[in-house]
Structures are given as structure tokens and as C-alpha cells.
Amino acid sequence: MRLDKYLKVSRIIKRRSVAKEIADKGRIMINGKVAKSSSDVVTNDELVIKFGNKTLTVQVNELLETTKKDDAERMYTIVKEEYAQDFRQE
């Protein structure tokens, strides 16, 4: 499955166009290699996604063509979530 479609269907990123833009800027890695929006994603791949302040690492569990909200969370497991600077209040 294409990377941009996987990110949309799994609801990690809300829109496919946004997923494509982020990937084409080199902010997504698949198994340690910079990925394009057209890169293929398979089960057990590790995705590292760099949002502005946040870096999210996920493990791909399943590939589904379409999902309901409850099923989307089964598609991946969050391995690590890091913040460059933590702005959350304690």
C-alpha cells in the first residue's frame, strides 16, 4: 500500500494530500530510509514521522483498504513518541 494512503486510512494523518506533502519533504522514514509518498508500506515496517515539534515512531501491524475509526488503531502500534520541546503543562 502507498505510504500516503496508509497514513490516511490509519488516521495517523487526516488527509492524504497532507501525508503526501510531509513525505515529499523528507520528513517520513520507513525502516531508516527516507520515504516518498509513493513508497510501499508492508506489515512490520517501522515508520518515523516528524511533525513540527513531535517525532512519532510506529510499527505497521495491518494493511486495510478502508477502516472505521475503531479499526484504524489496529493498523499500527506506537513505539515511541518524542517531543523536541515539551510545552504540555503539568
Range(s) of the domain holding residue 39:
3-83
How many whole angstroms separate alpha carbon 73 and alpha carbon 62? 10
Residue 90 lies inside a defined structural domain of this protein: no
Predicted local distance difference test score (pLDDT) of residue 83: 86
Residue 54 lies inside a defined structural domain of this protein: yes
Domain CATH for 10: 3.10.290.10
Residue 9 lies inside a defined structural domain of this protein: yes
Question: What pLDDT, in 10s, does the model give residues 1-57?
Answer: 899 999 999 999 999 999 999 998 999 999 989 999 888 999 999 999 998 888 999
| Residue 61: half-sphere exposure toward Cβ, Cα within 13 Å | 11
Angle at 38 between CA 37 and CA 43, to 5 degrees: 95
Tally the domains of the chain: 1
Predicted local distance difference test score (pLDDT) of residue 66: 82
Q: Where do we find the cell 523536541?
A: 84
Using an 8 Å Cβ cutoff, are 30 and 52 in contact?
A: no
